[in-house]
Structure 1
């Protein structure tokens, strides 16, 4: 099981305060990694993610950053590179705006793309540069089912998540031979705050459940195994993959 052992490694998880990011950070800590959690509203101390990481016996560092603010993201990148060698970068922080395309304002589009795509490229570029220089590192993006499909009333989100799938492959093509693995997980319909509107819509929720072979909404913890796998030595020959964790949705 040493293939999955992350003892002695440092993992950065953006969007770590709740939901999928919280589950990812907790799973990495249980596998042995110390965690740097990033979120716009992350408490300096006493957060749930800190509690779970420390319960696993690992160290936790909390950083605040607004991923919609390009200057803040660059400052975050400088702070992270100053913390020492970062072994794992989980680009999970994201946002969604549900508006029909004909009403999708420029400002909404720009905000979603800045958070979901541009900030993640900047962080990957800056931390990836150091990983390439060391000859080792893992970068994991949170993609989406909408990296494969079009969705409804979420044009900006779909565009950003489709781009994340492409960015995953582009970076893998450049960095695989340099010892840096770049991959993504694509969560299915997971019960988080981002999907509350869908779950509260009885008709929409029913139609979604009818499409999922597993017969249930996913839970954030369902992403734990895939995250640890892609962060560990077990995935050393896995490059440019977008791994669905979707209860079988895409297979349907």
Structure 2
């Protein structure tokens, strides 16, 4: 779960490859920005090419004022994704492609105060749902709420930080039939982000209790340390 959330967070705010950067090259060019950009801009731009150890590379276009305008991620000759930014540097659109060049997903972003709203569309332009990300006063992700195309709540994620702004708590809630079926709360090591403790509460889509367990992560072992019944009473743990 933690890995999924981290990847989700990076995809939403960074849109770069997860591989390590190898080198950067910068070169100048002039002319019009391609027509697919969301805001018109004429003038000198410069492009930064960043290569990654997995063979992918990104091309990022910047305006004269240094604000990013567009980004393209390639795997060889395959264009994996394009991202377009407004004049304020805020992400406005990201398009992901299949290897045959067809659109896989198209996501439009709007900013409302400390909320970032991402609306998704499929290759035919049909609406697929939205994700609302809320930031705290330190511009760190406080919560992520995911809705399906019908506006029904699918998932929620919540994050807690210490006084040094390090993430120490992650909570995910999955819904079915408007019932919180699975809740997972992870306590993290602020130094390295590794999971120290994980609490899971599970219900069926009809609201029937399934389990409530707490696991402790010790080196390479995951150990059941607490177990509760439907009323929250502690249960014996088999050794």
The TM-score with structure 1 as length reference comes to 0.28
Higher strand fraction (1 or 2): 2
Question: Is the radius of gyration larger for structure 1 or structure 2?
Answer: 2
Higher helix fraction (1 or 2): 1
